[in-house]
Amino acid sequence: MNAPHPPKVAGIDPTVPTPAHTVAPASPASGPGPAPGTASVPAPHPPAPGTVLQDRLAAWVSDLTTLHELTERLTRTGALDPALHELLGAGASLVGAHRGLVVLDPGDGLGPRTTLGLGLGRADLGLIETVPHCALPYDTGGGAEIVHADLLAEDGLDPRHREVAARLGYAASYSLPLATGPAGRLGAAVWFYDEPAEPHERQRHLAGLYVRHATEHLARLLEVERTRACMATVTEELLPSRLPRVAGVQLAARHRTGPRGGGDWYDALPLPDAALGLSVGSVTGSGPSAVAAMGRLRASLRAYAVMEGEDPVAVLSDLELLLRLTEPARSATALFAFCEPALRKITLAGAGHSPPLLIGERRTEFAETSVSAPLGMLACWEAPSVEIQAEAGETVLLYTDGLLHRTGDPMDRAFARLHAAAAGVPRAVRHDPGAVADHVLRTVLPDGPDAADSDEDVVLLAARFE
């Protein structure tokens, strides 16, 4: 009697071959017994159909468990590079290989295009790319799998491919396309074997299921990556492409946009009578709406600075009125400084913004500014301005709160960390405002502004007075 067929589970074909039946040996009563002097050897019993079914079910459960663990690990990746590395490692374990590479080459031509290796260096990847495109061991066109079970013995193999395989020491390869109906064509993954080999049917089936899931995950990450790049580009276009040259002062700026796009800005604007206007600020929120609001606010501040820049309080008052009338649901912090480089004199006003930092040979201190509310928080904003007299060689550092928030510390400790970083600027680089900003950035955020786990923008604007 045939064993019952279990239902199909998660795309794995559960067809169980019918076990071969063995005829039971005849009983002594139905035939002659063994010859005299010989021992009776019982015939082997066939495996019970239930045992075969249990073994097959155990194999299915094992496969499903493996797929679940690998896809869970892949789903936890939040960026393209970690996801591609995870794909390579998991695929290698499924097909029994130790080396491989993945090529990301989206079919829509919008990029990004990248190649990552597992157990292969940059030089190795470059060597593989010297193989003619039609003879590569993978197909980024979204075709079927490509199997080279024995490259050195295969007839019709491209001589360059054979040469590269010999130099890199692989004798077989197995490739799968990164392509699905919803995701389209994204590229291909290929794994290499040191000896002639190829994955068996069960390995191919599992690898195919995993790669299909991975392709859909990569498509989502690709869309996020493109959106972030687009937001970063728009933000950079809304900020100064270059800083002006004004006699008596050197300028440098550093800016990092959060992953969702933020509303932090900086600006440096030449004003009449050889004066200079400096501003930094931050609009609440993130994403496209915050970036657009930042662009509108910065453009308006430039206009007010040209008209009445010598009075920073009037500039911010006009900006507050505009924000209240045009962006009633949004608030912003801002700081505007009217600089007279010839006199090394700075007149500034702030609206809920952190105070500037003066960095010099004999002092490193925060400027004494009045406490005021952010723009758009009160019915009418106004705060007194303050004057700062800089000394020759001193640098005034303006920054947004994102620098402090990305430390993850309470604000008092974040301010202390910023002060310590500024005080520790090496004397050899104090003449360069860009080097001063870089030192502060590296010291306050030792893991780098891009590695910090925060959605905050980071802005630093340094002005060194001669």
pLDDT tens, position by position, 233-253:
777 778 888 899 999 999 999
Cα distance between residue 286 and residue 94, in whole Å:
41
Can you tell me the mean pLDDT for 60-73?
88
Q: Which pLDDT tens digit goes with each residue over 387-429?
A: 999 999 999 999 999 899 888 899 999 999 999 999 999 999 9
pLDDT for residue 177 is more than 80: yes
Q: Which domains does the chain have, with CATH numbers?
A: 59-231 (3.30.450.40), 240-465 (3.60.40.10)
Can you tell me the mean pLDDT for 96-112?
91
CB atoms < 10 A from the CB of 180, how many? 18
Q: Which pLDDT tens digit goes with each residue over 25-48?
A: 443 334 444 444 545 555 566 666
pLDDT of residue 272: 93
pLDDT of residue 388: 92
pLDDT of residue 31: 43
pLDDT of residue 149: 94
pTM, rounded to two decimals: 0.64
Q: Which residues pair with 279 in a beta bridge?
A: 267, 336
The lowest-confidence range among 5-14, 76-85, 212-221, 253-262 is 5-14
pLDDT of residue 72: 93
Share of the chain above pLDDT 90, in %: 57
Q: Which pLDDT tens digit goes with each residue over 350-364?
A: 998 999 999 999 999
Can you tell me the mean pLDDT for 197-204?
92
Can you tell me the mean pLDDT for 92-98?
94
Kindly report whether the peptide bond that precedes residue 25 is cis, defined as omega within 30 degrees of 0. no
Contact 148, 173 (CB under 8 A): yes
